[in-house]
Amino acid sequence: MSIKDISGFQRTLGNADAKGWSQKVDNDFGGFKIETPGVGESGKAKSFGEFLQDSLGKVNDMQHEANTAMEKLASGESQNLHETLMAVEKADISFRTMNQVRTKVLDAYREIMKMQI
């Protein structure tokens, strides 16, 4: 590998830079909004609390979707066994993940409270 080729790498790395990439995407895709974490509704940086609340909302939505899918299957409205099971599995996994996050957050909180000022 000769020194000449590093410029190619530099360009590639430049393209891979997160900020530059998100700007490029916004420019390239026009109206297609990508949700970048860290930008809240007011345009300022989103707090961790808001982020958690959004996630909880999404987990709740998935639970509702799973419930709807199960009801549709039970009443024969939908014949898609695989879609129902996928929806249920997604809700299941997201719930367990959220529970783990909750545990970790509590642990972190206790850790902080243990600190002697």
Partner 1 sequence: MDVNDKTLKALTTALNFREMRQELISSNVANANTPGYKAKKMDFEEALARALDVDGQMQMNVSDGRHHTVGNGGFNNLEPEIYDNPNGVVTENGNTVDVEAEMATMAENKLMYDALVQLINKKMGIMKYAINSEK
Report the interface residues with partner 1, using CB under 8 A: 63, 67-68, 70-77, 81, 84-85, 88, 91-92, 95-96, 99, 103, 106-107
Write down the least CB distance from residue 38 to partner 1, Å.
29
Give start and end residues of each alpha helix (H) in the chain.
Answer: 6-16, 18-29, 48-74, 81-114
Which amino acid, one-letter code, is at 48? Answer: F
Q: CB-wise, 17 or 61, nearer to partner 1? A: 61
Q: CB-wise, 26 or 95, nearer to partner 1? A: 95
- Residues 6 or more apart from 36 whose CB is under 8 A from it? 22
